[in-house]
Chain A
Amino acid sequence: MAENLIFTNSEISFLRELVRQKVEFMIVGLSAAALQGAPVVTQDVDLWFKDLTAAGIKKALKKVSGAYVAPSAINPPMFAGEAVKLFDIVVHMHGLEDFEQEKKNTMRVRLDDFDIAVLSLERIIQSKKVTGRQKDKLVLPVLKDAFTAIKEAAKKQNPS
């Protein structure tokens, strides 16, 4: 029951609107890993946009009474507002190619009544390997084992 109190209709509405507005984006980071089945914990949902100036982002934000906070010398770009507080904006993925290239490494994941692009677990692992931050080093073994389990489960479903 409590699990339904987080990432509710507001957040889903924002993502649905981004998709409806044809904004090019993908979910990355640990939330992307979690969507694929990795048993990891995260505090935010990282969104990587092809173009942060896309008009559709503003329209989607308006729909959920959110706002875009432009980057400054001390702050990265951010979203502000209750419906978008769980989302973080990603402007660069360490160790990966650019957005257009990495788009090829995404999978479509069903959320409610629409599909979103989610970066593959393999590429998330690659990125975490490169960043070298302590918290990334700690989660790497979990991501790798989850990747193994997901691959084996897929083999069982499609033996050919």
Chain B
Amino acid sequence: MQLSLEKIKKLCAEKGCTVQQLLLDAAVSKNALYSLARKKTVLPRSVHAIAKNLNVPASALLIGDSPAEKINDIIRRAAAITVKHRKADPDTIRHTLILLQEEPLARLRRSLLRGRKFNIHQQ
């Protein structure tokens, strides 16, 4: 559970901003970020202690990281959007939210792969 500066930099690049801009917008100081990044874990020591005594990794005590939890979260969010936008197709909303979890290049590859497969079947 270490903070990855590399991941932050990559996400900044994807969003088209610098880390400096990000910190400014998030009202987080550079010192605070680098101090967190130097830590072996960003979780409080007590979480690790509880996990150790349960003989499980600390991540097992957290929610939102497992594939099932992620997909449940997407289904919940898709349902909320469909309630708000009644004419929207629930499948499209859900598929879009799923695709948003992927990198742009992976999304493009999916789209091309299916498009070209479809074309083969048509010929």
A→B interface (CB under 8 Å): 2-7, 12, 30-31, 34-43, 45, 86, 107-112, 115, 141-142, 144-146, 148-150, 152-153, 156
Contact = CB atoms under 8 A, between A and B. Distances in A.
Contacts of A86: 112
Contacts of B108: 7, 31, 34-35, 45
Contact of A6 (B14, B95, B109): B109
B105 A7 contact: yes
B96 A39 contact: yes
For chain B, the bracket of interface size reads: 35 or more
B99 interface: yes
B104 interface: yes
A40 B114 CA distance: 9
Interface of B: 10, 13-14, 16, 77-78, 80-81, 84-85, 88-89, 92-93, 95-97, 99-100, 103-116, 118-119
Given A149-B96, A153-B77, A31 B13 contact: no
Given A37-B100, A110-B103, A146-B96, 11 more contacts: A30-B111, A31-B111, A34-B107, A35-B108, A37-B96, A40-B111, A43-B112, A45-B108, A142-B89, A142-B92, A144-B88
A40 B100 CA distance: 13
Contact of B13 (A7, A115, A145): A115
